[in-house]
A and B are shown apart, each in its own frame.
Chain A
């Protein structure tokens, strides 16, 4: 999602002394050190904000990222358990509240593992070392004569042992060691295993608590009616019809519209419908898909801002007739998680407590604090007296980027402050679609050329569309780095002349990050156009790609493997086709082959074969699950996803006019994971990128039709 700078281990680990005694190890702590939780005492060993061990030997791992289905409440504890040499059954998990003591807490950009691998290994290894030191002191022997295994420290000399629980009180008094030794990946016993997810049973039994399931005593329920046009506002309203209903307690005006307060969710929804409102349509009432598309079209043939240039793409000596040109386009999309956004807020005069299905708890905390006029987060961390915002992170019924936005939390807090009661705000499905935060639409102009040997010698790509960064910062992009919309727009091949350029076109449609964001757009365009070039070169699409990459690279390896695993070279019956696409991003490499059948312009998705190289793998089952989910997410968008804007508002309202892939439409998906010891890479968004171009290339292979506009329309 966003680029991140890789931290060195030294930057991660900062040991800070505490006035209360003992030492406290945390992920990089930007503003000095916070104290451990109050309950942490001499009976708890907690050398890190991520880990507590009690005197019964139970290890509690505090997960500071959000569990939204990707398995982070299992994978992060696995990393600690591995280094700590503890039995998996002794691991417990706690979801962290928003707190800077954990470092940043965004669950975005497929980074939960990549950013947490080092600090969580260090946390486990540090606790293990402290337990070893405590045991060696008790026995009066060298540390080197002790070793840790299955929750015990063993005495190498006489095979005596202490359980971790027995050592906790002594270990807790020790200074926290620095630069502890980490295990060699070849000795891993838990990392790399198919460990059953800890969050699964409660989710199946219906006892898991998502945001929408939070109940606090005395709470009322709310729904918000918002302007049907983008940027519209309330002119006047009549609540008498709504209020005639006994269950509807009040109607109040808030920043985003009108909040209906009721004694149940259903009555709040009903009130939202009964409310009579006259709207100021605002400045965008004439906006529609066509007007936005036209605003892209006017920029398409301009030069744009040059972002990447290799060779001399403007002066290459090629006959014009040998240059292939194409225009691609993609629609706005919404996230549509099964759990619509919601939030419980209890705002009192001197503190606020928030329960939110959020991917971004610290930003939500900060924004709510600012909105409520509380002291800012710096004061909070320094424990200056002031007001307080506590943000509890619940399970998410799907996130996909949507729940890293703060809109729903801010609304709930504003309502609770206004009515002086705890409130549960629930967005209807219609609210979710009409008032979402949208993945940008875009248009792409490409040109390319092939030389006599059948290799690409020219590739130019002009990306036209709205920049999320520009909309959020309200600053027109100027420098190459400002153009977030070029992520994934560069081909992965050695082509001697390349030019990537971009033009920002502002839009009133609110933009936000969506699973893979621009990597759900540009790789579709690039990998489809590379396929067009392969066809022009009369080359097999895999041979064509391999011919333009280092044959020993990790990228070439996944391409070669997908050829083998997908039976690429076996002939398919008439009407069926295969397509390949390749992606590199988030520190990982992926190649996918789609196999489809087209009959009467209807596409049947037969099979997807995906090969991923994401370096060290924590839980292969989770990698496979994320790959399956990413492919299906991508295909939902490619085949069905399109936001319709008319008269300045979003027309889509529910899953019937913003459909997603169904059970019966899903292909067989085979995931193959490359085993190696490269640094751990991201997974969650990786699979989204290649699935759509693989489909588009398969459609061409099956039918000879080249799809350049999404969603796919074959008729």
Chain B
């Protein structure tokens, strides 16, 4: 067991865990930030995406050790601004069904748009194809993203 200081959503949090523990489980079980979801556990499905220093990372596949002292943003952090355009567009298009994968979908597109406010269709497709949804909300995710990029949702 080791002690790690994690900067999560602007706050320093101290946890005592094994150093190879995935960040996902530290967020969920130690810090009780359950907005970040578990689904595949091997970096395939994207439901557990958080931002580390602004980059979209699959928190099931990065260790607590490698996350320490970096700036971590989870869906709860992004939702500190509930009027964020992504949330507005997602609500406008009623994207969510069961909603389980949506934090991962939202964190993934948020990171892409932070890096590039005007991504091409190909970039969007390549990025979003890595986030699975079993309910089949993809057509609405696409519409919500299109409206964000066209500036119709601010």
Contact = CB atoms under 8 A, between A and B. Distances in A.
Contacts of A201: 82, 87, 91
Interface residues on B, range: 35 or more
B132 A655 contact: yes
Contact of A629 (B34, B41, B91, B137): B137
Contacts of B134: 336-338, 398, 400, 633, 660
A206 B35 contact: yes
For chain A, the bracket of interface size reads: 35 or more
Interface string B29-58: 110111111111110110100000000000
Contacts of A203: 96, 98-100, 102
Interface stretch (A184-192, A306-314, A663-671, A701-709): A663-671
Contacts of A339: 37, 39, 98, 100
A77 to B, nearest CB: 16
Contacts of B11: none
B13 interface: no
A206 B39 contact: no
B141 interface: yes
A265 B24 CA distance: 10
Interface in B91-149: 91, 94, 96-103, 106, 125-126, 128-142
A661 interface: yes
A204 B103 contact: yes
A669 B139 contact: yes
Contacts of A264: 17, 21, 25, 29-30
A663 B138 contact: yes
Contact of A205 (B18, B37, B75, B130): B75
A93 to B, nearest CB: 15
B91 A663 contact: no
A631 B140 CA distance: 14
Nearest to B33: A206
Given A204-B90, A338-B101, A395-B99, A632 B136 contact: yes
A675 B134 CA distance: 29
Given A205-B75, A209-B34, A338-B134, A663 B96 contact: no
B82 A205 contact: yes
A622 to B, nearest CB: 8
B76 interface: yes
Contacts, number: 182
Contact of B132 (A199, A221, A267, A338): A338
Nearest to A245: B18
A338 B37 CA distance: 9
B67 interface: no
Contacts of A267: 18
A207 interface: yes
A199 B99 contact: yes
Contacts of B94: 196-197, 200, 621, 625
Nearest to B39: A338
B143 to A, nearest CB: 10
Nearest to B126: A664
Given A204-B99, A396-B98, A338 B47 contact: yes
Contacts of A632: 136, 138
A205 B98 contact: no
B129 A663 contact: yes
B128 A664 contact: yes
Given A338-B37, A338-B134, A655-B132, 5 more contacts: A205-B75, A206-B33, A221-B29, A264-B30, A399-B98
Interface of B: 1, 17-18, 21-22, 25, 28-30, 32-42, 44-45, 47, 74-76, 79, 82, 87, 90-91, 94, 96-103, 106, 125-126, 128-142
26 contacts: A196-B94, A197-B96, A199-B99, A201-B87, A204-B91, A205-B75, A206-B79, A210-B100, A213-B28, A264-B29, A265-B25, A265-B28, A266-B21, A266-B29, A337-B134, A338-B134, A399-B98, A625-B94, A625-B137, A656-B42, A661-B136, A662-B129, A663-B131, A663-B133, A663-B138, A666-B136
Shortest beta-carbon contacts, A-B, top 8: A206-B35, A203-B99, A397-B100, A632-B136, A69-B98, A69-B97, A206-B75, A205-B79
Interface of A: 68-71, 196-197, 199-201, 203-210, 212-213, 215, 221, 246-247, 264-267, 269, 336-340, 395-400, 426, 428-429, 621, 625, 628-633, 654-656, 660-666, 668-669
